Amino acid sequence: MTNEMKVLVKAHAREGLWLQTAPMPEIGPDDVLIRINKTGICGTDIHIWNWDEWAQKTVPVPLITGHEFAGEIVELGRNVEGLALGQRCSGEGHLIGKQSRQSRAGKFHLDPQTRGIGVNEQGAFAECLCLPAFNVVPLPDEISDDIGAILDPLGNAVHTALSFDLVGEDVLITGAGPIGIMAAAVARHAGARNVVITDINQDRLDLAAKVADVVPVNVTTDDLADIQAQLQITQGFDVGLEMSGNQIALDQMVEAMVMGGRIALLGIPPGKSPVDWSRIVFKAITIKGIYGREIFETWYKMIAMLQNGLDVSGVITHRFGVQDYAEGFAAMKSGHSGKVVLDWTAL
Ligand code: NAD
Ligand code: ZN
């Protein structure tokens, strides 16, 4: 191996990302070095590309971006046990501390010291990634590198969808982005009776209907109440998964819920937004915020479901060699794509 590698880096504090050369990372005793095969482009990477207000106050420059990946272990730190050279893997991109009360209780996903690869620390858009061995998730043979590269957002979908008991329930998902679509597939797989997904973008709804057995509703043209009546959802949805970050969608969800309904919020609103709390109080609705994935219970469940018939492969709509990364980012920015996967193996 040479001591240099190609990386996609936020090299300047302005719009764009740059394919450059960087030194090969040196791993510590508890780390592994992963040769990256495939990476997924996330909405977060688009914020970093655009260099919006959030990115400017969060992301140091220069920084190797990217946090959705699949690859293979090529070096092991001297303390690492239970992993082997050549092991195919993905991994948890949230680097947690071990000091907080939450971590010491084993609730790693609630650690307040969490730092993200590709956001706060050097990321996965690189030929090689240094990752704590603790964060590595081995991939079974039947899970491809393409799917391995989207386990991070699939994990967001799984964490949200499995927050409340779905079996036999009517589920409303607002936002048919890649995560909403994957959550719909998970909800069906887990045993929901009806899964209705809303969006304002018809391409996204068409993709949702292709990938999962769901009822797509374009809220700009269709009335959600009519669809509910057709499906004989007489009192309202039992479980809501908010995956748009849009205030209008959340209002619509609250109205469409049953008394005592449960809502999991993954979507991130751009700023403060007015909420009619009295509706939530009088409907006795439970709301749960979701951040990231449960470490590592979400990973366990999603790999088990993928091995047992969950198929989200249709959510990947575009694949590019990393040299064509600008086209990949353009596809994501168009708002019409599903997941976009970049291939690092042909460099
Ligand atoms: P995305 O932006 O691709 O999808 C959001 C979808 O919501 C779009 O298709 C958009 O057209 C749709 N939408 C907009 N207004 C709507 C409305 N009124 N009704 C219904 N749909 C509407 O996002 P994604 O990558 O699928 O991620 C989903 C959300 O989850 C985003 O808000 C993202 O920021 C957030 N997210 C949160 C976490 C977390 O840990 N909490 C992690 C990843 C992503
Ligand atoms: Zn992501």
Helix (H, G, I), strand (E, B) or coil at 87: coil
Name the strand (E) or helix (H) holding 32. strand 31-41
Catalytic option among 39, 44, 114, 160: 44
Domain boundaries, the chain: 4-150+312-343, 157-289
Please report, to the nearest 10 degrees, the dihedral formed by the alpha carbons of residues 63, 65, 71, 77 taken in order: 30
CATH for the stretch 4-150+312-343: 3.90.180.10
- What local confidence, expressed as pLDDT, does residue 281 receive? 98
Ligand 1 atom 4, closest CA: 177
Mutate to test the pocket of ligand 1, among 68, 186, 199 (most ligand atoms within 8 A of CB): 199
Q: Which two tokens stand for residue 20?
A: 């450059």
Neighbouring-strand partners of residue 71: 36, 89
Find the catalytic residue in 12, 39, 47, 198.
47
Say how many Å lie between the CA of residue 271 and the centre of ligand 2.
20
Q: Categorise residue 309: left if φ over 0, alpha if ψ from -120 to 50, beta otherwise.
A: left
Distance between Cα 234 and ligand 2 center (Å): 36
Which residues are CB-contacts of 31 (< 8 A; sequence separation ≥ 6)? 77, 80, 130, 131, 132, 133
For 287, the 3-state DSSP assignment is strand
β-strand partners of 240: 172, 263
Domain range 157-289, CATH class: alpha beta
The pLDDT assigned to 347 comes to 85
Residue 290 CB less than 6 A away from ligand 1: yes
In ligand 1, the atom with minimum distance to the C-alpha of 44 is 34
Digitized pLDDT (tens) for each residue of the chain, 347 residues in all: 579 999 999 999 999 999 999 999 999 999 999 999 999 999 999 999 999 999 999 999 999 999 999 999 999 999 999 999 999 999 999 999 999 999 999 999 999 999 999 999 999 999 999 999 999 999 999 999 999 999 999 999 999 999 999 999 999 999 999 999 999 999 999 999 999 999 999 999 999 999 999 999 999 999 999 999 999 999 999 999 999 999 999 999 999 999 999 999 999 998 898 999 999 999 999 999 999 999 999 999 999 999 999 999 999 999 999 999 999 999 999 999 999 999 999 88
25 within ligand 1 shell (Cβ under 6 A): no
**Among this protein's residues, is 47 annotated catalytic?**
yes
pTM of the model: 0.97
